Each structure stands twice: as C-alpha cells, then as structure tokens.
Amino acid sequence: MTGPLPILRWPDPRLATVCAPVAADDDMADLVRAMFETMYDAPGRGLAAPQVGVLKRLFVMDCGWKDGDMTPMVCINPEIIRSEGMASGAEGCLSIPGVLAEVMRPDRITLRYRDLDGVTRDVDLDGFEARCAQHELDHLDGIITFDRLSPEARRVVEASYSVSFPVRPA
C-alpha cells in the first residue's frame, strides 16, 4: 500500500460500521504508512481506518504537525479508560469535507492503545488532542460527527453539506 488512499465520504455505509479489533499478529505497518500519507496530504490531523475502507480498530493522528511539531501517534484497539470535564469545540472531518460542527466532549481523557510495536500504552490527553482522539475513536464505533448533534443542529449541518457536496446513493 503506497500513496494517499481514497477517503470515504459520508453517507458511505462503511462509516456507520463498528470495526473489528486488530489481531496481535496483524501486520499494520503498510496500512499505517499509507494512512499517515493520506492524512498529511488531505491535510488532516487524524484518520481512522474505516475512513479508508479498512474496518479495523486503528487510527492515526498528529495534532501538532500543522504548527511545526510532528507528534504522530498510531493507536491500535484504542479505548478510553478515564475521562473528565466537558468542553464544546468545532470539529471537522475528512469524510464530511467543508463541515464544521460544535460537539460537546470530555476535555481530558486517558487513552489506552497498542502501538505499532505491539506495546500497550496509556496516554493522558487534553484539549484538542483529547478531542481528536475521541473523534477518531468514534469512527471505529461507526459514529460520525452528525451523530453527536441535536436533531435540529444535525438537520442544519447535513443540509449545508448536501448543498456543497451533493449526497449520492452509495
């Protein structure tokens, strides 16, 4: 797998699929390289495997690269083991281009995941990094930004998306 991968756009039904765990013996290195290339090319700060059509519990993120600080993370079979505080923030999504939506989420989390070397790690994240990790983890559970909105807010942002990017049957 080389080069940027095509990014699925909503309403592709694969984006609503709960992903399967990555097995300990699954070699994800090529996929991870391609996902980082795709994310940086997009340009995004996070990308989940289902967004490129791979229905596995894996995401990559780098919240600092646009500011000059490369902080790439590979999160395999991630789970939130602690959260606290709540904050609202604007979220965009590479699968729903052109849409920003205000989403309420915990402001601080502890994320447990396996890295590419198979090491289980716990990391404390706050602010934008916590928001990004939660957004990508949502993708692994078949949840998109629209699903986090009130019915009225969802109607408004879906309508703006449908005008900019006409929804075609999958």
The pLDDT, as a whole number, for residue 113 is 98
The pLDDT, as a whole number, for residue 2 is 65
- Provide mean pLDDT across the span 143-159: 92
170: pLDDT strictly greater than 50: no
What per-residue string of b and e applies to 15-35 under the rule 16 or more CB within 10 Å gives b?
beeebeebeeeeebeebbebb
pLDDT tens-place string over residues 39-68: 999 999 999 999 999 999 999 999 998 888
The pLDDT, as a whole number, for residue 169 is 46
> pLDDT category, 38, cuts 50, 70, 90?
very high
The pLDDT, as a whole number, for residue 34 is 97
164: pLDDT strictly greater than 80: no
Contacts of 81 (CB under 8 A, 6+ apart): 110, 111, 112, 122
3-state secondary structure of 27: coil
SS3 content of the chain, % helix, strand, coil (to 5): 35, 30, 40
Contact call for residues 52 and 27 (beta carbons, < 8 A) = no
The pLDDT, as a whole number, for residue 158 is 87
pLDDT tens-place string over residues 71-130: 999 999 999 999 999 999 999 999 999 889 999 999 999 999 999 999 999 999 999 999
The pLDDT, as a whole number, for residue 62 is 98
Domains of the chain in start order, with CATH, are 13-164 (3.90.45.10)
Q: Is 79 a catalytic residue?
A: no
The pLDDT, as a whole number, for residue 53 is 98
Choosing from 79, 91, 102, 136, which is the catalytic residue? 136
Tokens 């790690």 belong to residue: 121
Give the pTM: 0.92
The pLDDT, as a whole number, for residue 163 is 59
3-state secondary structure of 40: helix
The pLDDT, as a whole number, for residue 66 is 86
